[in-house]
Structure 1
Amino acid sequence: MSAVTVLLYVVGVLIAAVAFVLSIALHEVGHLVPAKLFKVRVRQYMVGFGRTIFSRRRGETEYGLKAVPLGGYVAMVGMYPPAKGEAPSVDSTGLFQQAVTETRSQEDLHSQPGDEDRAFYKLPVYKRLIIMLGGPFMNLVIAVVCIAVLIMGFGREAPTTQISTVNECVIQVEADAEQAQQTRTRCTEADTEAPAHAAGLEPGDRVVSINGQEVGSWEELTTIIREQGNREVPLVYERDGQETTTTITPLLTERPVMDDNGDAVVEGGQYVLQEVGFIGVSPRFDLVPQPVTEVPGAVWDALSNVAGVLWRLPVNVWNTAVSTVTDAPRDPNGPMSVVGVGRISGEVATTDQLNLREKSATLVGLIGSVNMALFAFNLLPLLPLDGGHVAGALWEKLRRSFAKLTGRKDPGPFDPLKLLPLTYVVVGCFLVMTVVLVLADIIEPVRLF
């Protein structure tokens, strides 16, 4: 590996690392800004965990960076409501009760006169929801921006009017989908010469017009060809900057019906066939900028993919662990750690299979995918994630409304510390998952090339 390759790989990894840290920082800004607007006293805004590397106080808030930038937090006064009644003695409590008491005591140490009216738990439920959803919302905004840049700026991979391959002959398509996968690919003397080959078309040619109609997309070209079965029509193509006119006779033959995604329609294990004109060429795919109307659908697709991964997260992590210690292949669409994201970013930076534009598009898409994952992951209704606090606030609103409706005593605010044992279990599971994914990304990494 040359020094230039190593340098490019390091640059790719650094891009991923900086993008990840900035995503975390902006996630925490999403919590910080509404908390400040609602007059909650914010003690700390920190990116990372562990030992503090750098910090500076501005007003009543300490802003800083910690040693392990795998997360962050905004420490607000009054995250936990005071305990009801007199706290039991330490001797009479269990392990988790001692942890609850110590956690509440640590928060009390940071309280100051005047904090009574600036505590987080005293806010109306809707304000607490805005604060807790602000973080995931920032990740969603970043993901949407990345997807918009990807779709409208770089474009989606789509077929162009430039020819990629020219078939020498026309091979009959088997109606049975399973048999069709085993269809021969070599021509025989009994096969009909493909019309494109007979007309002299070559890979790299760009079709300008056919039957007197200019074509601006592969869809327009195929529509015209399909309608001209067994009819001789003029075709203009461009090769090496010069236009040439030839004639071509699309062969009327049975071909599979395609759906909106360009996939062959299969019913009952059989291809749905129709007689259409066919010339025997395939297009070159390139990044084609799309209109803004394509962005919402792309965002929904990305969110659906991430939601599917999260829904199967325990199974996916288990399968990843199995593929790490066995010969089973790793699912390239499964979960990965920040180590895996960094490796992919470095691989994209060093590959010679992509040009600079395609590399930039891939990295933008990677950043968008990471933020979409952060958005969806943080909405899981589990403490200590944002979704856990959101679920707690909604539960508080529900039980208070029910108590008011039935004339019962106000049950008071939701206390996250009552679920501390479950929180420990969730944190433990997340730590195990992180270790599994990091080891997998080191031992059996996902590779793009």
Structure 2
Amino acid sequence: MVALLTTLGIVLFFLGLLLSLAWHELGHLATAKMFGIRCTQYFVGFGKTLWSVRKGDTEYGIKLIPLGGFVRMVGMIPPARNRGETSSGKPMSRWRAMIEDARAANQTELEPGDEDRQFYQRAPWKRLIVMFAGPGMNLILAVVLFAVAMMGIGVLTPTSTVAEVSECVVPSSATSRDCAADADPTPAAEAGMKAGDRIVAVNGTEAPDNNAASSLIRDTTGPATITVERDGERMDLKANLVENEMPKRDASGEVVYKTDADGEFVTNDQGQRVAEIETAGFLGVYFTNTRQPLSAGETAGEIGTMAVGVGKALVALPSKVPEVFGAAFLGHERQIDSPVGIVGASRIGGEVLAQPVPWQDRAVILLNLLAGVNMFLFAFNMVPLLPLDGGHILGALWESVRRGFAKLFKRPDPGPFDVAQLMPVAYVVFIAFACFSVMLLVADLFNPVRLT
């Protein structure tokens, strides 16, 4: 059954990733057609064509390598004003030749009737919309998936109901919950507390929720009266709370994690955050969790926090290259926070679906994972470098600025921004991305990130 669920999870998450890529390209296609730009191809994947069908001007299909997708629009590069030789009459440099080769390749798709259907001929604001529509679709999908997970299914929220009573006092630094022969029993066990008891007060102070109950317990040492509700009736239990080392928590009950001098979280060898430790009152119980739907405002706040995390991950991506290379080719241990590709993400999806936990937990994790991928696709594609969408957006913005200054100072229209000038940079970015994708693929196949 585990193997079946794992396979099903891999397939479902892989299809979710492909749909995310198709959804991204649909944004480009729909807006381009809306502005009268001829689109010759709409494909998910690269390489050999597995299936395609032509409808109108556009060929729709799926290619062999599912590492992205594309919409091919005519006239992405404007014609050159001066072609052939440089102004001094000398032959073109290699850089210039590379630019003109890209321009010539772009012109080969032009057909009779395309004279006014080319991308560069549209106003900068229209081109900006076309290029933003792709990552924008990923952002929309991410928000929808996060909302379904948080507002529809809900997030796990601790309650003040006891799920389990610990038998002995174990410090938070211990790697096992097993009791040593000389371990002291917990105050909760000595007081006769049972699973199902709901803590409603500590020393007469009401505890309406988990955060209040936990705070009161942590602030108390020595003899204490713990009021619980059992089978609908209140009863007082006498407990002698002891001091113990536990993860530090803030005023809202969230765990406080260690940070370094740069404000970055400190992690252990497995890439997990390290909590700050403090000495506090200890009762010895584990509380139950229940799923509580978040409000729209709370969901927006959580999505904002995740967006910041995605931004930090994108900035840190170049620093992860040596780690991925070591994991792929040198046998180094793969960290839990290592980047993953489509294969690695799909494998994680299969591992999640096979976990022996309630279906709501698995659904929430899968939805959040897919939403996180879409948010990263949005952020990554907005990087202002060709061939990414952000590079074209930057070109459209720069053209608007140039034309605005020309109009302000009554100068001749400078014409469309020649995006071909940046094609050599685009080649470098493409090669770097392709090499990184190969490293990720090798690492995901032979040294994958494992959640368990």
Q: TM-score, normalised by structure 2?
A: 0.82
Aligned to 1:297: 301
Q: Which of 175, 193, 200 does residue 192 from structure 2 map onto?
A: 200
Instruction: Note if contact 1:252-1:278 (Cα within 8 Å) is conserved in structure 2.
Output: yes
User: What letter matches 2:292 in structure 1?
Assistant: V
Off by >6 Å, runs of 4+ in structure 1: 182-191, 211-216, 226-229, 252-257, 265-274
**1:262 and 2:265 correspond:** no
Aligned to 2:33: 36
Residue correspondence of structure 1 range 311-326 to structure 2 within 5 A: 311-326=315-330
Cα separation, 1, equivalents of 2:387 and 2:258: 46
Aligned to 2:263: none
Aligned to 2:283: 279
**1:116 and 2:115 correspond:** yes
Q: Which of 385, 406, 411 does residue 414 from structure 2 map onto?
A: 411
Aligned to 2:228: 235
Mark the CA change 1:190 to 1:142 in structure 2 (over 3 Å): closer, same or farther.
closer
Most deviating of 180-189 and 256-265: 180-189
Give the drift of 1:170: 6.7
Cα separation, 2, equivalents of 1:330 and 1:7: 25
The alignment-based identity, stated in percent, is: 38
Aligned to 1:6: 3
Give the drift of 1:160: 2.5
Mark the CA change 1:407 to 1:300 in structure 2 (over 3 Å): closer, same or farther.
same
User: What letter matches 1:378 in structure 2?
Assistant: N
Q: Which of 328, 332, 339 does residue 335 from structure 1 map onto?
A: 339
Give the drift of 1:114: 3.9
User: What letter matches 2:350 in structure 1?
Assistant: G
Cα separation, 2, equivalents of 1:322 and 1:364: 30
Aligned to 2:49: 52
Instruction: Note if contact 1:309-1:334 (Cα within 8 Å) is conserved in structure 2.
Output: no
Unaligned runs of 5+ in 1: 174-179
Q: Which of 49, 62, 67 does residue 65 from structure 1 map onto?
A: 62
Give the drift of 1:389: 0.6
User: What letter matches 1:368 in structure 2?
Assistant: A
SS in 2 for 1:384: coil
User: What letter matches 2:428 in structure 1?
Assistant: V
Q: Which of 402, 405, 412 does residue 405 from structure 2 map onto?
A: 402
Aligned to 1:221: 213
SS in 2 for 1:433: helix
Instruction: Note if contact 1:320-1:331 (Cα within 8 Å) is conserved in structure 2.
Output: no
Most deviating of 215-224 and 367-376: 215-224
Aligned to 1:15: 12
Instruction: Note if contact 2:150-2:299 (Cα within 8 Å) is conserved in structure 1.
Output: yes
Cα separation, 2, equivalents of 1:270 and 1:39: 58
Give the drift of 1:40: 1.7
Map Cα deviations across residues 163-216 of structure 1 (whole Å, 9 max, x no partner): 244345678x9xxxxxx958999789897x6442233123x4241644799966
Most deviating of 47-56 and 142-151: 47-56
SS in 2 for 1:111: coil
SS in 2 for 1:323: helix
Q: TM-score, normalised by structure 1?
A: 0.83
Cα separation, 1, equivalents of 2:426 and 2:293: 45
Cα separation, 1, equivalents of 2:253 and 2:385: 37
What is the number of residues matched between the two proteins?
Answer: 429
User: What letter matches 1:219 in structure 2?
Assistant: N
